[in-house]
Amino acid sequence: MTDNAVILYSRSADNRNAQLYNTMLQHLRMRGCRVVVPTQLFEQLHQLSIAHADILEKLDTEPSKVEALAVFSIGGDGTFLEAARLMMGSDVPVLGINNGRLGFLSDVAEQNVPEAIDSVLAGNYRLGSLDVISLYANDERTPIDFALNEFAVSKCDNASMLTIHAYIDGEYLTTYWADGLIIATAAGSTAYSLSVGGPIVCPSTPNLIITPVAPHNLNVRPLIVPSGSVVQLRIEGRGPNILASLDGRNHVMDNGCRLRIAKAPFSVKVVQLQSHSFFASLREKLMWGADMRNH
């Protein structure tokens, strides 16, 4: 592919976001870009009769093997995670365009898309790197799945709480009696982990956050460990199965299973525009500093 090839990724295209695609494709055409999209999105955009859709090319290989300047993920953080998963192990960075709701990973507003495209094409951005974690079951050497935000284990039904024996690098940590346990990356600290009381961690810091969900031993608190740590779990419950989830993808596991969570040998590259500020995102999206007393 040419040096000006880019990939567009989205879960879907419809009349609600048609104008955004019109703007993007018009701007990319003006900049002489080749635009590659997955087959489903290619067909949806043509069915909508999106202007400039004639410049689109179908993605006919694995996304991680495509030589491109960047991937533009259009949607919310869930869409960004899907795009990032497709590009795991690739040097092609991902830029999130927020066409969803609350977004920490997808933080480029629609009105700023033309400027964002120009910045990517000019190389006027910082290249960030986000850790990926791998999940292994029992003594298997091949990972079951990967996650950019978090791994979570929880009850598979309405059974009583789980008993989760946790070890860090082989050393016993504690036993959690809880509805579940979350192990989040720094990037995932503003997602599920935050909702159950976990700390916010700067995305670029090499850490894992271990956060229990509804623990019965109330003196247990979230714990931050180095991202190079290997977390081992032995999980017991009253039901026959437990649920292991990685960025929302579920795997049903046998009761009594032993799980291992470790940093993957690769990362996900992300585009960080010069105007991007994680702290500004916190103030805006979490309304820090806003006086809500008169609202």
Q: Distance between terminal CA atoms of the chain?
A: 53
Which of 14, 77, 139, 291 is labelled catalytic?
77
By CB atoms closer than 10 A (0-12, 13-18, 19+), residue 292 is exposed
Structure tokens at 106: 């997808």
Query: What is the pairing mode between strands 125-137 and 207-213?
Result: unpaired
Structure tokens at 241: 């199965």
CA 218 to chain centre: 29
Q: What DSSP string runs through 33-74?
A: -EEEE-HHHHHHHHHTT-TTGGGEEE--S-GGG---S-EEEE
Count of all residues that appear for the chain in the document = 295
179 a catalytic residue: no
CA 134 to chain centre: 14
Non-local CB neighbours of 22 within 8 Å, separated by 6+ positions: 50, 51, 52
Structure tokens at 41: 């999105």
Non-local CB neighbours of 278 within 8 Å, separated by 6+ positions: 202, 203
Amino acid at 117: I
CA neighbor of 137 nearest in space, from 208, 233, 230 = 233
Catalytic residues: 77
